[in-house]
A and B are shown apart, each in its own frame.
Chain A
Amino acid sequence: MLPDPRLADLPLVVALLALALWLIATRHDRSAIIGFTAYGLIVAIVWVRLGALDVALTEAALGGIMGLLLLMAAARLGDAPDGPPPTWPLRVLVGLLCGAVTAGLAVLVLTLPEPAPNLVAAVAEQQSATALKNPVAAVLVAFRAVDTLLESAVLALAVIGLWSVGADAAWGERPRALDSDAPDPALVLLARLLPPVGLVVGVHLFWTGADHPGGPFQAGALLAAMVALVWLARLGAPPPVRSRLTRVGLMLGPLVFLLIGLAGVVAADAYLAYPEALTKPLILLIEAAKTLSVAVALALLVAGPPALPRARP
């Protein structure tokens, strides 16, 4: 007789816990970031094992970009000096508090109803009205469209917020956080070979998202990574923040979504509803614009605030 198939996930669980504990314990910023990236990859595999492929794709795609952002920040900051170490009563107190909260959460999770009440049946029943075969896409673009709309607005606002921390003199310039003096030839080679592949995979992720796992966020994240790679290798440069075209690209996704949603009250009896005959084309239009905007926003977030060119020695 074969052992319980769930045992196959045991190494994954052990690795996840060990990495999490190590992440808390480590004192070096850079090691923590690298550990965190690895942690994100393991979490992505866990999502695969749980059957949540959409979440896994997002975790993997965004986790990589997060890791890059954090590493760049850590490289710039260097090893920041720690304050005086906490006194031992405080340490004990914090340990006890953390232990109590963790124990409470554990009890809570173990008492959750089994199976959890959920909306799977309701989604399956109504999904046909959205002309989408991927239930996650149906939730994101139809049932809970307003949340997706606001989330993409947050992403755009975050870029404006990032730009606003630049210096006054640099306003209108281009971001320069990715600039290096002489990119490694291996990086340049990679930046020539990888982006065409990434572009194909990204467009595929967007297109397949209607019926299979994937969608604008995952596709946008992948495309943003390719763009950042090109910028890192100095095969191209981020556009200046004064460029209206960039801003249009940044805002187009939420803007198209919102305008179609507003038109719904006339064309389909409710805000954020789609007229029956046009459901699929409208959703495709929204998703295409969103893919573009997510890619632009994430790439610009990696590129940093506008900066003046460094003075040559």
Chain B
Amino acid sequence: MIWADVFTVVLVTAGALFFFAGWVGLMRFPDSLSRLHALSKADNLGLGLVVVGLLAQASWPYGVLKLIALWLLVILVGGATGQMLAGALHAAGPTPEPDRRGDAARDAGGTR
């Protein structure tokens, strides 16, 4: 099963890289919408890669189906909350608030 393990390691590592990139984006991007964008990338693609990587290790059929269901759920919830946050930011007005950067970033991170 060595090839399955290699497959898993490669894909999970790639997924972890996306998460890391999402984290860097969360910390470094100047305004809330960009930070949100970075986070959704991590959620959708990063988690997707991790899930696909783990599929090689999961039992057939229920383990595999559970992992896929998990991914779909996160996409649904992440997408919806991202939309809601963006809507709230839009309603609050276009000006980024430099002094409250930390706060807004944590908002985006914490409600996931």
Contacts and interface: CB of A to CB of B under 8 A. Distances in A.
B87 interface: yes
- Interface size bracket, B side: 10 to 19
Q: Is the interface of A mostly helix, strand, loop or mixed?
A: helix
Interface string A180-195: 0000111101100110
Given A35-B110, A184-B83, A187-B84, A30 B76 contact: no
Given A34-B111, A197-B73, A187 B106 contact: no
Interface in B51-84: 73, 76-77, 79-81, 83-84
Which bracket fits the contact residues of A?
10 to 19
Given A28-B103, A30-B103, A186 B80 contact: yes
A186 B77 contact: no
B106 A186 contact: no
A186 B103 contact: no
29 contacts: A28-B103, A30-B103, A31-B106, A34-B106, A34-B107, A34-B110, A34-B111, A35-B106, A35-B110, A37-B110, A184-B83, A184-B87, A184-B88, A186-B79, A186-B80, A186-B81, A186-B83, A186-B84, A186-B87, A187-B80, A189-B80, A190-B76, A190-B77, A190-B81, A193-B76, A194-B73, A194-B76, A194-B77, A197-B73
Interface string B92-112: 000000000011001101110
Interface in A164-205: 184-187, 189-190, 193-194, 197
